[in-house]
Amino acid sequence: MTKVHDTLLGTPFWFVLSARLLSLGILSQFLSAGVALFIGAWDWQIHLVIGGALPLPIIILCAGVFAVPRLRGFNWWAGLVFALYIVQFALAAGTDSLPLAFHPFNGTLLVIASLVLLAKLQRRLTKSSTDLATSRARSVARR
């Protein structure tokens, strides 16, 4: 019996969902800030609520890379997203205008890191499904 590499065993649904929700949440942060700032249609409370909910997928991603060995390939990007979110929260918590000026820049870094994490995850999902289909075709051909 051939040994299957653990990265080909699949990626848990909760990990994939967390990565997708994180990217969607960060992008909605930009939308809510833009609407509140330039249009004035929404209050800043929507921005605060979404930002307060973002730690949940980040914590799930970080817990996943530590608890599930086959997710170790994502540990650098999950750690970077975690660190950038801590910086983002610290920048938003300040009342000075200088830290708040860096808040959008750090948010841009955060959305880039989350999208890279999501792209790497999608690549693994595509590769896993392709490798699984290939191995199934080989096993059928051997019969």
Helix axes 13-34, 97-142, angle to 10 degrees: 150
Domain ranges of the chain: 13-134
Q: Which two tokens stand for residue 98?
A: 């200088």
Please give the pLDDT value at position 5: 54
pLDDT tens digits for range 24-74: 999 999 999 999 888 877 788 898 899 999 999 999 999 999 999 989 999
